[in-house]
Amino acid sequence: MDEDRSIEYRQGQIPQELQHNVVITSVDYIYNLIRKTSLWPMMFGLACCAIEMICTAAGRYDLARFGMEVMRPSPRQSDLMIVSGTVTKKMLPQIVRIYNQMAEPRYVIAMGACAISGGPFKDGYNVVSGIDKYIPVDVYVPGCPPTPEALLHGVLKLREKIAKQSITQVSWYRKGSQDAIPVPVLGPDIFDPRRVPEIRKRTLAPRPDDDGSEATEGAQTVEDQSEA
């Protein structure tokens, strides 16, 4: 018996009496299995898409099946941000600030046409045409508004993405600290602080009328009109 067992060990086989007690898998599989089955969304909504998100958490659709029935009121306890609704320029700095307060690993679902591209309000002066211009988005859920089934499908796609990640490649396990995303500044318009040098360069660049050529032409035109 001992001889047979030693042969099995040498051949890399699990003895018969241990086959139901030993599980061989990878660290990535166990790590991702735990993370994808315990996503904690953050409890906040922006517009009408938030009503559909609330319906998804109710008894009929039951997010508890996916281990994410607890919506956390604090970003420090959340790892999933569902941007559900229209993102205005006044609200955008708060969203980026909350995203920076979430601990890694963190994920973002853009729910609805407004969060993805601005939706029917895209041409409005106060609407951001896509939250992905300021924070990274993992899954897009189209619709106006998306149904709870669509959001569940987006959650399943996010779980598939998490299952494919490796701890040797994800950014939050690499050496060096990650820089926070700069909070956009709301002035006459919303702008990214990282583009301040570009904005300053364009603003202070000399204009064609600085040399007086266009001004001279304008004055000549006025004189011609007065003579006529």
Query: Cα separation of 35 and 32, whole Å?
Result: 5
Question: Is 203 domain-assigned?
Answer: no
| Mean per-residue pLDDT of the chain | 80
pLDDT of residue 225: 45
Question: Is 149 domain-assigned?
Answer: yes
Question: Is 124 domain-assigned?
Answer: yes
Question: Is 167 domain-assigned?
Answer: yes
The domain total for the chain is 1
CB 149 within 8 A of CB 16: no
Residue 57 reports pLDDT greater than 70: yes
Mean pLDDT of 61-79: 84
Q: What is the SS3 assignment for the chain?
A: CHHHHHHHHHCCCCCHHHCCCCCCCCHHHHHHHHHHCCCCEECCCCCCHHHHHHHHHCCCCCHHHHCCCCCECCHHHCCEEEEECCCECCCHHHHHHHHHHCCCCCEEEEECHHHHHCHHHCCCCCECCCHHHCCCCCEEECCCCCCHHHHHHHHHHHHHHHHCCCCCCCHHHCCCCCCCCCCCEECCCEECHHHHHHHHHHHHCCCHHHHCHHHHHHHHHHHHHHHC
CB 81 within 8 A of CB 99: yes
Residue 175 reports pLDDT greater than 80: no
Instruction: Decide which of 4 and 45 is more confident.
Output: 45
Query: Cα separation of 17 and 184, whole Å?
Result: 62
Find the range with the poorest average confidence among 45-49, 83-87, 153-157, 183-187.
183-187
pLDDT of residue 5: 54
Q: In this structure, what token pair is assigned to residue 168?
A: 């040797």
Mean pLDDT of 14-22: 69
Find the range with the poorest average confidence among 26-30, 159-163, 184-188.
184-188
Find the range with the poorest average confidence among 62-66, 132-136, 191-195, 209-213.
209-213
CB 174 within 8 A of CB 74: no
Question: Is 131 domain-assigned?
Answer: yes
Range(s) of the domain holding residue 41: 7-173
Mean pLDDT of 21-27: 75
CA 60 to chain centre: 27
Backbone angles phi and psi of 153, in degrees to 5: -65, -40
Question: Is 183 domain-assigned?
Answer: no
CB 211 within 8 A of CB 217: no
Q: β-pairing, 185-186 with 190-191?
A: antiparallel
Q: In this structure, what token pair is assigned to residue 114?
A: 């407004």
Instruction: Decide which of 219 and 195 is more confident.
Output: 195
CATH number for the domain that contains residue 13? 3.40.50.12280
Beta bridge partners of 82: 109
Question: Is 166 domain-assigned?
Answer: yes
